[in-house]
Protein backbone atom coordinates (compact mmCIF):
# COMPACT_ATOMS: atom_id res chain seq x y z
CA UNK A 1 0.00 0.00 0.00
CA UNK A 2 1.54 3.30 -1.14
CA UNK A 3 0.15 6.41 0.57
CA UNK A 4 0.06 10.10 -0.35
CA UNK A 5 2.73 11.44 2.01
CA UNK A 6 1.70 15.04 1.35
CA UNK A 7 -1.27 14.36 3.65
CA UNK A 8 0.90 13.10 6.51
CA UNK A 9 2.79 15.02 9.20
CA UNK A 10 6.25 13.57 9.81
CA UNK A 11 9.57 14.21 11.51
CA UNK A 12 12.89 12.72 10.47
CA UNK A 13 15.00 11.40 13.33
CA UNK A 14 18.68 11.76 12.47
CA UNK A 15 20.03 9.91 15.50
CA UNK A 16 20.53 6.12 15.50
CA UNK A 17 17.86 3.94 17.11
CA UNK A 18 19.22 0.76 18.68
CA UNK A 19 16.69 -2.03 18.16
CA UNK A 20 16.22 -5.01 20.47
CA UNK A 21 17.29 -7.30 17.63
CA UNK A 22 20.75 -5.69 17.76
CA UNK A 23 20.24 -3.87 14.47
CA UNK A 24 20.39 -0.08 14.21
CA UNK A 25 18.14 2.31 12.30
CA UNK A 26 20.44 5.21 11.46
CA UNK A 27 17.72 7.47 10.13
CA UNK A 28 14.00 6.96 10.41
CA UNK A 29 10.71 8.79 10.10
CA UNK A 30 7.85 9.14 12.57
CA UNK A 31 4.39 10.07 11.26
CA UNK A 32 2.13 11.62 13.86
CA UNK A 33 -0.90 13.79 14.48
CA UNK A 34 -1.87 16.09 17.33
CA UNK A 35 -5.33 17.13 18.48
CA UNK A 36 -6.15 20.02 20.78
CA UNK A 37 -3.70 22.64 22.06
CA UNK A 38 -0.66 22.25 24.28
CA UNK A 39 -1.01 24.70 27.17
CA UNK A 40 1.68 27.05 28.48
CA UNK A 41 2.68 24.71 31.30
CA UNK A 42 2.81 21.68 29.01
CA UNK A 43 0.90 19.66 31.59
CA UNK A 44 -2.09 18.64 29.44
CA UNK A 45 -0.31 16.33 26.97
CA UNK A 46 -1.66 12.80 26.46
CA UNK A 47 0.16 10.21 24.35
CA UNK A 48 -2.21 7.72 22.70
CA UNK A 49 -0.79 4.43 21.43
CA UNK A 50 -2.70 2.73 18.64
CA UNK A 51 -3.55 -0.96 18.22
CA UNK A 52 -2.53 -3.35 15.43
CA UNK A 53 -4.77 -1.96 12.69
CA UNK A 54 -4.72 1.67 13.86
CA UNK A 55 -2.64 4.68 12.89
CA UNK A 56 -1.97 8.26 13.92
CA UNK A 57 -5.41 9.46 12.79
CA UNK A 58 -7.15 8.68 16.06
CA UNK A 59 -9.99 11.16 15.61
CA UNK A 60 -11.39 13.55 13.04
CA UNK A 61 -11.32 12.48 9.39
CA UNK A 62 -8.50 10.27 8.21
CA UNK A 63 -7.17 12.11 5.11
CA UNK A 64 -5.98 8.87 3.52
CA UNK A 65 -9.18 6.83 3.85
CA UNK A 66 -11.69 9.69 4.09
CA UNK A 67 -13.30 7.92 7.06
CA UNK A 68 -13.58 8.73 10.75
CA UNK A 69 -10.51 8.21 12.90
CA UNK A 70 -10.32 4.88 14.70
CA UNK A 71 -11.05 6.33 18.18
CA UNK A 72 -13.56 9.02 17.33
CA UNK A 73 -15.85 7.61 20.03
CA UNK A 74 -13.35 8.57 22.74
CA UNK A 75 -11.35 11.55 21.47
CA UNK A 76 -12.80 14.92 20.53
CA UNK A 77 -14.43 18.08 21.91
CA UNK A 78 -16.26 17.30 25.19
CA UNK A 79 -15.57 13.57 24.81
CA UNK A 80 -13.81 11.28 27.28
CA UNK A 81 -10.43 12.46 26.01
CA UNK A 82 -11.46 16.08 25.58
CA UNK A 83 -9.59 17.99 22.87
CA UNK A 84 -10.91 21.25 24.32
CA UNK A 85 -8.93 20.46 27.46
CA UNK A 86 -6.08 18.14 26.50
CA UNK A 87 -3.34 18.00 23.87
CA UNK A 88 -3.40 14.54 22.31
CA UNK A 89 -0.46 13.05 20.43
CA UNK A 90 -0.77 9.87 18.37
CA UNK A 91 2.01 8.40 16.21
CA UNK A 92 2.05 5.61 13.68
CA UNK A 93 4.17 2.84 15.20
CA UNK A 94 7.57 1.79 13.94
CA UNK A 95 6.98 -0.92 11.34
CA UNK A 96 3.58 0.54 10.44
CA UNK A 97 2.36 1.61 7.03
CA UNK A 98 0.98 5.11 7.52
CA UNK A 99 4.16 7.14 7.18
CA UNK A 100 6.42 5.93 9.99
CA UNK A 101 9.43 3.92 8.85
CA UNK A 102 8.48 0.34 8.05
CA UNK A 103 8.44 -2.20 5.21
CA UNK A 104 6.81 0.27 2.78
CA UNK A 105 9.51 2.92 3.41
CA UNK A 106 12.57 3.69 1.34
CA UNK A 107 15.85 2.37 2.72
CA UNK A 108 18.12 5.47 2.67
CA UNK A 109 21.18 3.25 2.15
CA UNK A 110 19.86 1.61 -1.04
CA UNK A 111 17.18 4.08 -2.14
CA UNK A 112 14.86 1.10 -2.61
CA UNK A 113 11.82 -0.11 -0.69
CA UNK A 114 12.68 -1.96 2.49
CA UNK A 115 9.90 -4.55 2.11
CA UNK A 116 11.03 -7.68 3.98
CA UNK A 117 14.54 -6.29 4.60
CA UNK A 118 13.22 -3.89 7.24
CA UNK A 119 14.53 -5.09 10.61
CA UNK A 120 12.11 -6.83 12.96
CA UNK A 121 10.88 -4.49 15.67
CA UNK A 122 9.46 -4.95 19.16
CA UNK A 123 7.00 -3.11 21.36
CA UNK A 124 9.98 -1.61 23.19
CA UNK A 125 11.36 -0.33 19.87
CA UNK A 126 8.01 1.29 19.07
CA UNK A 127 7.96 3.00 22.46
CA UNK A 128 11.57 4.18 22.18
CA UNK A 129 10.77 5.81 18.85
CA UNK A 130 7.79 7.64 20.34
CA UNK A 131 9.86 8.87 23.28
CA UNK A 132 12.00 10.61 20.65
CA UNK A 133 8.82 12.19 19.32
CA UNK A 134 8.08 13.56 22.80
CA UNK A 135 11.62 14.94 22.89
CA UNK A 136 11.04 16.63 19.53
CA UNK A 137 7.82 18.17 20.84
CA UNK A 138 9.71 19.26 23.99
CA UNK A 139 7.31 17.45 26.30
CA UNK A 140 9.23 16.18 29.29
CA UNK A 141 6.30 14.53 31.07
CA UNK A 142 2.86 13.63 29.78
CA UNK A 143 -0.30 13.81 31.82
CA UNK A 144 -1.21 10.31 30.63
CA UNK A 145 -0.32 7.52 28.25
CA UNK A 146 -3.19 5.31 27.13
CA UNK A 147 -4.12 2.73 24.55
CA UNK A 148 -5.93 -0.54 23.98
CA UNK A 149 -4.76 -3.96 22.80
CA UNK A 150 -1.31 -3.50 21.19
CA UNK A 151 -1.65 0.11 22.34
CA UNK A 152 -2.04 -1.16 25.90
CA UNK A 153 1.16 -3.17 25.55
CA UNK A 154 2.94 0.03 24.57
CA UNK A 155 1.47 1.75 27.64
CA UNK A 156 2.91 -0.97 29.90
CA UNK A 157 6.29 -0.87 28.15
CA UNK A 158 6.41 2.92 28.33
CA UNK A 159 5.69 2.87 32.07
CA UNK A 160 8.33 0.20 32.64
CA UNK A 161 11.03 1.82 30.51
CA UNK A 162 10.25 5.50 31.09
CA UNK A 163 8.57 5.82 34.49
CA UNK A 164 9.48 9.49 34.84
CA UNK A 165 7.92 10.54 31.54
CA UNK A 166 4.23 10.27 32.49
CA UNK A 167 2.04 11.09 35.48
CA UNK A 168 -0.63 8.49 34.76
CA UNK A 169 -1.45 5.54 32.52
CA UNK A 170 -4.51 3.70 31.22
CA UNK A 171 -3.70 0.25 29.79
CA UNK A 172 -6.88 -1.09 28.18
CA UNK A 173 -7.80 -4.66 27.14
CA UNK A 174 -4.22 -5.84 27.04
CA UNK A 175 -1.71 -8.28 28.48
CA UNK A 176 1.84 -8.26 29.84
CA UNK A 177 2.79 -11.16 27.55
CA UNK A 178 1.22 -13.07 24.67
CA UNK A 179 -0.22 -16.47 25.49
CA UNK A 180 0.26 -19.55 23.30
CA UNK A 181 -3.26 -18.97 21.95
CA UNK A 182 -2.47 -15.36 21.05
CA UNK A 183 0.69 -16.45 19.24
CA UNK A 184 -1.21 -19.22 17.45
CA UNK A 185 -3.83 -16.81 16.10
CA UNK A 186 -1.12 -14.45 14.87
CA UNK A 187 0.79 -17.27 13.23
CA UNK A 188 -2.38 -18.38 11.44
CA UNK A 189 -2.74 -14.85 10.06
CA UNK A 190 0.91 -14.66 9.02
CA UNK A 191 0.76 -18.01 7.26
CA UNK A 192 -2.35 -16.89 5.34
CA UNK A 193 -0.41 -13.90 4.02
CA UNK A 194 2.77 -15.82 3.21
CA UNK A 195 0.82 -18.61 1.48
CA UNK A 196 -0.61 -16.11 -1.01
CA UNK A 197 1.52 -16.41 -4.21
CA UNK A 198 1.25 -12.64 -4.62
CA UNK A 199 3.26 -12.15 -1.41
CA UNK A 200 6.37 -13.10 -3.42
CA UNK A 201 8.60 -13.54 -0.38
CA UNK A 202 7.69 -10.04 0.75
CA UNK A 203 8.80 -8.28 -2.45
CA UNK A 204 5.31 -7.77 -3.87
CA UNK A 205 5.44 -3.96 -4.19
CA UNK A 206 8.59 -4.10 -6.30
CA UNK A 207 6.83 -6.63 -8.53
CA UNK A 208 3.59 -4.63 -8.66
CA UNK A 209 1.73 -7.40 -6.85
CA UNK A 210 -0.48 -7.42 -3.76
CA UNK A 211 -1.32 -10.42 -1.51
CA UNK A 212 -4.90 -9.25 -1.08
CA UNK A 213 -6.38 -12.70 -0.55
CA UNK A 214 -3.89 -13.63 2.15
CA UNK A 215 -4.21 -10.34 4.00
CA UNK A 216 -8.00 -10.53 3.78
CA UNK A 217 -8.05 -13.99 5.36
CA UNK A 218 -5.59 -12.80 8.03
CA UNK A 219 -7.90 -9.94 8.89
CA UNK A 220 -10.93 -12.24 8.99
CA UNK A 221 -9.17 -14.59 11.41
CA UNK A 222 -8.06 -11.69 13.58
CA UNK A 223 -11.48 -10.08 13.54
CA UNK A 224 -13.12 -13.20 14.96
CA UNK A 225 -10.89 -12.86 18.03
CA UNK A 226 -11.97 -9.23 18.50
CA UNK A 227 -15.63 -10.22 18.88
CA UNK A 228 -17.39 -12.23 21.55
CA UNK A 229 -19.47 -15.36 21.05
CA UNK A 230 -22.41 -13.57 22.66
CA UNK A 231 -22.01 -10.57 20.36
CA UNK A 232 -21.76 -12.70 17.22
CA UNK A 233 -24.77 -14.78 18.20
CA UNK A 234 -26.82 -11.71 19.04
CA UNK A 235 -25.94 -9.92 15.82
CA UNK A 236 -25.94 -12.80 13.34
CA UNK A 237 -26.98 -16.12 14.84
CA UNK A 238 -27.64 -18.43 11.92
CA UNK A 239 -29.31 -15.77 9.76
CA UNK A 240 -29.01 -16.37 6.05
CA UNK A 241 -27.66 -13.74 3.70
CA UNK A 242 -30.72 -14.08 1.49
CA UNK A 243 -34.19 -15.25 2.39
CA UNK A 244 -35.01 -18.81 1.57
CA UNK A 245 -33.02 -22.01 1.91
CA UNK A 246 -29.31 -22.78 1.50
CA UNK A 247 -27.77 -22.16 -1.92
CA UNK A 248 -25.73 -25.36 -1.70
CA UNK A 249 -22.55 -23.58 -2.89
CA UNK A 250 -19.45 -22.27 -1.14
CA UNK A 251 -20.59 -18.67 -1.51
CA UNK A 252 -21.63 -16.81 1.63
CA UNK A 253 -24.89 -18.39 2.81
CA UNK A 254 -24.75 -16.95 6.32
CA UNK A 255 -24.70 -13.26 7.24
CA UNK A 256 -21.68 -13.79 9.48
CA UNK A 257 -19.72 -15.11 6.48
CA UNK A 258 -20.60 -12.05 4.43
CA UNK A 259 -19.65 -9.78 7.33
CA UNK A 260 -16.21 -11.34 7.69
CA UNK A 261 -15.55 -11.13 3.95
CA UNK A 262 -16.50 -7.45 4.01
CA UNK A 263 -14.12 -6.80 6.90
CA UNK A 264 -11.30 -8.61 5.13
CA UNK A 265 -11.80 -6.86 1.79
CA UNK A 266 -12.08 -3.41 3.37
CA UNK A 267 -8.87 -3.93 5.33
CA UNK A 268 -6.63 -4.69 2.34
CA UNK A 269 -7.32 -1.26 0.85
CA UNK A 270 -5.79 0.53 3.84
CA UNK A 271 -3.09 -1.76 5.25
CA UNK A 272 0.15 -3.34 4.12
CA UNK A 273 0.63 -7.09 4.33
CA UNK A 274 4.27 -6.93 5.42
CA UNK A 275 3.40 -4.45 8.16
CA UNK A 276 0.82 -6.94 9.41
CA UNK A 277 3.57 -9.56 9.66
CA UNK A 278 5.91 -7.20 11.49
CA UNK A 279 3.40 -5.87 13.99
CA UNK A 280 1.93 -9.26 14.91
CA UNK A 281 5.45 -10.57 15.45
CA UNK A 282 6.22 -7.60 17.71
CA UNK A 283 3.13 -8.42 19.77
CA UNK A 284 4.22 -12.06 20.06
CA UNK A 285 7.67 -11.04 21.29
CA UNK A 286 6.24 -8.75 23.98
CA UNK A 287 6.86 -10.27 27.40
CA UNK A 288 7.38 -8.12 30.50
CA UNK A 289 7.82 -11.28 32.58
CA UNK A 290 10.80 -12.40 30.51
CA UNK A 291 12.36 -8.95 30.75
CA UNK A 292 12.12 -9.06 34.55
CA UNK A 293 13.25 -12.56 35.51
CA UNK A 294 9.69 -13.87 35.54
CA UNK A 295 8.45 -11.33 38.11
CA UNK A 296 6.00 -8.86 36.55
CA UNK A 297 6.12 -6.54 39.58
CA UNK A 298 9.80 -5.85 38.82
CA UNK A 299 8.75 -4.16 35.58
CA UNK A 300 7.15 -1.36 37.59
CA UNK A 301 9.50 -1.23 40.59
CA UNK A 302 9.57 2.18 42.32
CA UNK A 303 6.85 3.49 39.99
CA UNK A 304 5.16 6.76 40.91
CA UNK A 305 2.68 6.51 38.05
CA UNK A 306 -1.07 6.54 38.74
CA UNK A 307 -2.75 3.64 36.88
CA UNK A 308 -6.26 2.78 35.73
CA UNK A 309 -6.50 -0.72 34.25
CA UNK A 310 -9.58 -1.45 32.15
CA UNK A 311 -10.85 -4.79 30.84
CA UNK A 312 -14.04 -6.07 29.22
CA UNK A 313 -16.10 -9.01 30.47
CA UNK A 314 -16.42 -10.80 27.11
CA UNK A 315 -12.90 -10.15 25.81
CA UNK A 316 -11.45 -13.63 25.28
CA UNK A 317 -8.39 -12.39 23.36
CA UNK A 318 -7.02 -10.55 26.42
CA UNK A 319 -9.43 -11.63 29.15
CA UNK A 320 -9.95 -9.87 32.46
CA UNK A 321 -7.68 -12.45 34.11
CA UNK A 322 -4.74 -10.94 32.19
CA UNK A 323 -5.57 -7.44 33.44
CA UNK A 324 -5.83 -8.78 36.97
CA UNK A 325 -2.29 -10.14 36.73
CA UNK A 326 -1.10 -6.60 36.00
CA UNK A 327 -3.26 -5.30 38.84
CA UNK A 328 -1.80 -7.82 41.29
CA UNK A 329 1.75 -6.94 40.22
CA UNK A 330 1.12 -3.23 40.76
CA UNK A 331 -0.65 -3.82 44.07
CA UNK A 332 2.29 -5.90 45.29
CA UNK A 333 4.59 -2.89 45.04
CA UNK A 334 2.09 -0.44 46.51
CA UNK A 335 1.36 1.39 43.25
CA UNK A 336 -1.53 3.83 42.93
CA UNK A 337 -3.79 1.64 40.81
CA UNK A 338 -7.50 1.28 40.13
CA UNK A 339 -9.24 -1.39 38.09
CA UNK A 340 -12.47 -1.44 36.09
CA UNK A 341 -14.13 -4.35 34.31
CA UNK A 342 -16.79 -3.21 31.87
CA UNK A 343 -19.71 -5.60 31.45
CA UNK A 344 -20.52 -5.82 27.74
CA UNK A 345 -21.22 -8.29 24.93
CA UNK A 346 -18.89 -6.51 22.49
CA UNK A 347 -15.72 -8.45 23.23
CA UNK A 348 -12.18 -7.16 22.72
CA UNK A 349 -13.21 -4.37 20.35
CA UNK A 350 -15.35 -2.76 23.08
CA UNK A 351 -12.74 -0.04 23.64
CA UNK A 352 -13.29 1.19 20.08
CA UNK A 353 -17.07 1.38 20.45
CA UNK A 354 -19.51 3.71 22.15
CA UNK A 355 -19.44 1.98 25.54
CA UNK A 356 -20.82 4.57 28.01
CA UNK A 357 -19.39 3.01 31.21
CA UNK A 358 -15.97 2.66 29.61
CA UNK A 359 -15.94 6.24 28.34
CA UNK A 360 -17.11 7.58 31.70
CA UNK A 361 -14.32 5.65 33.43
CA UNK A 362 -11.67 7.11 31.11
CA UNK A 363 -13.01 10.64 31.47
CA UNK A 364 -13.31 10.45 35.26
CA UNK A 365 -9.79 9.11 35.68
CA UNK A 366 -8.23 11.63 33.29
CA UNK A 367 -9.98 14.64 34.80
CA UNK A 368 -8.98 13.59 38.32
CA UNK A 369 -5.38 12.88 37.29
CA UNK A 370 -5.16 16.26 35.57
CA UNK A 371 -6.16 18.16 38.70
CA UNK A 372 -3.64 16.18 40.75
CA UNK A 373 -0.89 16.65 38.16
CA UNK A 374 -1.41 20.43 38.08
CA UNK A 375 -1.39 20.59 41.88
CA UNK A 376 1.86 18.61 42.07
CA UNK A 377 3.86 20.98 39.91
DSSP state of 316: S
Which regions of the chain does DSSP assign to beta strands (E)?
Answer: 10-13, 17-18, 24-25, 28-35, 45-49, 75-76, 81-82, 87-91, 106-107, 112-113, 142-148, 166-172, 306-312, 336-342
Residue 82 among the catalytic residues: no
CB 296 within 8 A of CB 326: yes
Cα–Cα distance, 136 to 99 (Å, whole number): 17
Q: Among 101, 105, 149, 189, which one carries the catalytic annotation?
A: 149
Residue 21 among the catalytic residues: no
Q: Among 55, 272, 315, 349, which one carries the catalytic annotation?
A: 315
Cα–Cα distance, 260 to 222 (Å, whole number): 10
Cα–Cα distance, 5 to 112 (Å, whole number): 17
CB 274 within 8 A of CB 103: yes
CB 103 within 8 A of CB 92: no
Cα–Cα distance, 264 to 213 (Å, whole number): 9
Residue 376 among the catalytic residues: no
Cα–Cα distance, 95 to 56 (Å, whole number): 13
Q: Among 196, 348, 350, 361, which one carries the catalytic annotation?
A: 348
Cα–Cα distance, 283 to 148 (Å, whole number): 13
| Share of the chain residues as helix, strand and coil, in percent rounded to the nearest 5 | 40, 20, 40
Q: Which residues are catalytic?
A: 149, 315, 348
Amino acid sequence: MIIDKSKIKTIDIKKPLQLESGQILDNFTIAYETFGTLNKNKDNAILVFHALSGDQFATGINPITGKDGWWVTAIGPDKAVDTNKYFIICANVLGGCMGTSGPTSINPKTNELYQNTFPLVTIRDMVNAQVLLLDYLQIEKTLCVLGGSMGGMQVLQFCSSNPGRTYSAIPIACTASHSAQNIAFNELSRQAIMADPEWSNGDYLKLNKNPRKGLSVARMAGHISYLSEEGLQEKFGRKLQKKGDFKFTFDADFQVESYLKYQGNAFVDRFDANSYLYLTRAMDYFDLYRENNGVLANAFKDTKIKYCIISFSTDWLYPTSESKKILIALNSIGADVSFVEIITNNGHDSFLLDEPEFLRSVKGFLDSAYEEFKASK
